[in-house]
Chains A and B, each alone.
Chain A
Amino acid sequence: MVEIDASKRLHSAEDDIKLRVSASFKRGDFVAFFGASGAGKTTILRMIAGLLRPDSGRIAVDGEVWFDSRERVDLPPQKREVGFVFQDYALFPNMSVEENLRFALQKGDNPSIVDELIETVGLGAFASRYPSALSGGQRQRVAMARALVRRPKILLLDEPLSALDHTMRSKLQEELADIHRRFGLTTVLVSHDPSEIFRLCNYVFKIEGGSVKKEGSPSELFVKERIGSSFKFTGEVLSIERCEMVYLLSVAIGTQIVKIMATKKEREGLKIGSRIQIVSKAFHPMIFKIES
């Protein structure tokens, strides 16, 4: 069980906001803090990691108190058993992949985990390369591996994939889900991308104006209307073409692009980039077996 109850006054460019977050989730959960930028999501991760001290509150993981303002407990980051992955990777440019991972080892750690993790993220052939000789996706894999060196209880991910292109992003999403399962982690993701949260997380906290406004499963949070049908996809409108009195929408759903007929009413209010939900009934799909 991870219990977070923390307050912190934040000073931003526009105005001061009071962050007051109360959230708890189970071990093994993959949770998301979702919200607009500037809502305080990253601050929450930093407070869990011990990189930022809450003004008041309590943070406990599996009954162990990491922070308690009344009891004056404040474990330093290195004692908190967290792995942190940042959006900009934060790798040491003057160290090879292997050295970046070794640097995270502490006295007494078994160094064989470094090779094991490099293999896990599929970078065995790149162990002696420097970050500058890697692609964005490879760099983020190194950052993920490095976050796991200390066998953390909690993996903290701060918009880890937002700098990557769509294909690489969905590939790394799969790898993240796999790592989460394989290492039995409790993972906390900060993201503003509902489709990413849908793919990865089993629980979401929606942050607005410095506090948790809503929480629940991704479908409870993002699917406003409850429809008695079976197929629901979230997509992004790429183009809108008029064809007689109807419209053809090109919609990106995952890595696929599909064309969908929309009536004038359905098209209203949509523009390029709009996020839409597509619903189809269970009776519609035709099924073709793929011969292997």
Chain B
Amino acid sequence: MNRLKGKILAIQRSGELVRADIECADTMLTAFVMGSAQEGFLEKEGSEVWVLFKESEVALAKDFSGQISLRNRFEGRIESIERAELLAQIVIRYGEDTIISIISRRACDAMELKTGESVTALVKANEITLMEYS
């Protein structure tokens, strides 16, 4: 799974549903989580958290424009590409971290992704898990 360090900027609750705005390097992220009372670390705005998401949940865009509902966008540069028969794994340099995306080989070929290229990694807000930073 991808693991980035972030900081909680704001928490909005509606019943059990929690929307967390998180600052992660120079990117603003939104995460939707179900928050029960025991997850006290969500309460403190300003507290540091781990932002977790699975590689297979990371979509990629190139020359990205237009409107899209995905709010979580990481602008980075492709560091390496590994192509297999059905899958492709793309490692993206994002500041001091790397973000890994596993997409279909077909999409990777169709987008003609190359090492060194700029891409946008996209993650849906409900695919992000938050973990107490320790």
The interface of chain A, by Cβ under 8 A from chain B, is: 225-230, 244-246, 261, 263, 265-266, 279, 281-283
Contact = CB atoms under 8 A, between A and B. Distances in A.
Interface residues of B, number: 30
16 contacts: A225-B134, A226-B38, A226-B41, A226-B132, A227-B129, A228-B33, A228-B35, A228-B41, A229-B34, A229-B129, A246-B102, A263-B100, A263-B102, A279-B129, A281-B127, A283-B127
Top 10 closest pairs, chain A to chain B, by CB: A244-B84, A283-B126, A282-B34, A226-B132, A228-B130, A228-B33, A227-B131, A245-B89, A244-B87, A228-B39
Interface in B26-60: 32-36, 38-39, 41-42, 52, 54-56
B86 interface: yes
Contact of A226 (B34, B56, B131): B131
A229 B128 CA distance: 9
Contact of A228 (B1, B42, B56, B126): B42
A225 B132 contact: yes
A263 to B, nearest CB: 5
A153 to B, nearest CB: 32
B77 to A, nearest CB: 20
Contacts of B126: 281, 283
A230 B1 contact: no
Please report whether the interface of chain A is mostly helix, strand, loop or mixed according to DSSP.
Answer: loop
Nearest to A229: B129
Interface string B70-106: 0000000000001011110100000000001010000
Contacts of B36: 230
A242 to B, nearest CB: 10
Contact of A245 (B42, B87, B127): B87
B87 A225 contact: no
A244 B56 CA distance: 13
B42 A266 contact: no
A225 B3 CA distance: 13
B56 A225 contact: no
A245 B90 CA distance: 11
Contacts of B102: 245-246, 263
Nearest to A225: B131
